[in-house]
Amino acid sequence: MTESITPAASVSSATTPASTSIRSLVERLGLLPASGVSEAGWGRTLLAFIVSFIYFFPVLWIILTSFKTYNDALAVPAKFIFTPTLENFLGVFNRAYSAGGPIQNTGFTLYFFNSIFIASTSVLLALVLGTVAAFGFSRYPLKGNDTYLFMILSTRMLPAIVVIIPIFIVFRVTGLAGTYAGIIALYTAFNLPFTIWMMKSFFDELSPDVEDAARLDGSSDIRVFFKICLPQVYAGLAATAVFGLILTWNEFLFALLLSGVETRTVPVAMAQTIGGDMGVRWGLLAAIETLFLIPVIIVTFALQDQLLRGVTFGTIKK
């Protein structure tokens, strides 16, 4: 923890606004649809198609399985052609536990609500606190700024299991275990390091010229933040929020130990069904997974250009 460990973002002084640099990143990565001419040659193109298909196959197969009947899902050899059914998707939320028994609520309505509610609240909170803090770190460096930033990032790199033991005891003593307030507070803290680093990397990229001009004209710090800096990083704000949502949506260990029956999230419920009564009802499990994955796949599609920055917490931009 010396001064030599300067976080990557703090030395950045790129002079392009975020939107332009995103566009140039897209161009540099060559992600725009190729203009008809294949640079790669037919052999390599074909190979890329095959490899992509193989790579995506596990996800595809789960989505296919979710449309299979109970017997089709267990068929040996595996069925590639079958009559699709929606019974699994209906069964996720309401189904009879025994043949001919009463149709009961499985609780997954609540679990999906919990996942959405907990993820969105904590991401929103982290975004408010984190953006303000990122602006502070970017524009008003403290003495030992980099040490603070390093410590913030290292809390995110820590093994979750190390943090969870004391939290578990503290939450049990204070009665926060199993409540929305407890898990939301924890997830807000879980999202903060990521939010701060991402937003700082976006703020660092802004051109200081407009800001300086506004300051010379007598704009207050608050006005500069809301009227000049924030509007320029809306895209970054959206990307950060969506990444936070995915991280929280997927999180398993904290939720396993700290959510109660009423606040259980989908990953925990899903893990319990893997070994539980649905152990052999693969179609049903696949339907839960499909419902759980679809938002993530859509978001990955939308976020492609920000993926590199997102998965490295803003430490690598290009």
Partner 1 sequence: MPLTDAPPSAILVERLIAPRWDNWPAALIGFLVGMPLAVAVLPPIASFWLSAVLCAVLVATLIVNAWGRYTGGLLVTPALTLLFLMNIFPLLWSFGLSFFSYHANRARAPTWVGLDNYARILNDPDIWDRLHNTVILAVLTVSTQMIVGFLLAVLFSKRFPLRRYLLILVLTPMMLSFVAVGAFFRYYYDPTFGLLSQAVRLMTGEPYILMNSVWGARAGIVIADAWMWSPFVMLLVLAGLVSVPKYLYEAAAIDRVSAWRQFWSITFPYIRGLLLLALLFRTIEAFKLFDLPFLLTQGGPGTATETIAIKVFRVAFENNKTSDSTALAYILLFTVIVLTNLYLYFANQRAKETEAP
Among 15, 19, 20, 48, binds partner 1 (CB under 8 A): 48
Among 154, 175, 226, 227, binds partner 1 (CB under 8 A): 154
Among 64, 123, 152, 241, binds partner 1 (CB under 8 A): 152
In angstroms, the CA 220 to CA 278 distance is 60
Least distance in angstroms from the C-beta of 15 to partner 1:
11
Question: Does position 58 bind partner 1 by CB under 8 A?
Answer: yes
Stretch that binds partner 1, among 39-47, 95-103, 208-216, 228-236 (CB under 8 A): 39-47
200: tokens are 């700082």
Question: Does position 41 bind partner 1 by CB under 8 A?
Answer: yes
Question: Does position 77 bind partner 1 by CB under 8 A?
Answer: yes
Q: How many residues does the chain have?
A: 318
Among 40, 96, 181, 294, binds partner 1 (CB under 8 A): 40
Among 20, 23, 59, 181, binds partner 1 (CB under 8 A): 59
Question: Does position 205 bind partner 1 by CB under 8 A?
Answer: no
Among 90, 142, 181, 213, binds partner 1 (CB under 8 A): 142
Task: Please list every residue from 104 through 123 that binds partner 1, using CB under 8 A.
Answer: none
Question: Does position 11 bind partner 1 by CB under 8 A?
Answer: yes
Least distance in angstroms from the C-beta of 94 to partner 1:
21
Cis ω for the linkage preceding 166 (within 30 of 0): no
Question: Does position 76 bind partner 1 by CB under 8 A?
Answer: yes
Among 237, 246, 284, 287, binds partner 1 (CB under 8 A): 246
Task: Please list every residue from 259 through 298 that binds partner 1, using CB under 8 A.
Answer: 267, 270-271, 274, 282, 285-286, 289, 292-293, 296-297
Question: Does position 147 bind partner 1 by CB under 8 A?
Answer: no
Name which of 103 and 311 has its Cβ closer to partner 1.
311
Among 116, 120, 139, 147, binds partner 1 (CB under 8 A): 139
Task: Please list every residue from 157 through 186 that binds partner 1, using CB under 8 A.
Answer: 157-163, 165-170, 172, 185-186
Q: How many CB atoms lie within 10 A of CB 241?
A: 19
Question: Does position 136 bind partner 1 by CB under 8 A?
Answer: yes
Among 16, 23, 49, 234, binds partner 1 (CB under 8 A): 49
In angstroms, the CA 285 to CA 294 distance is 14
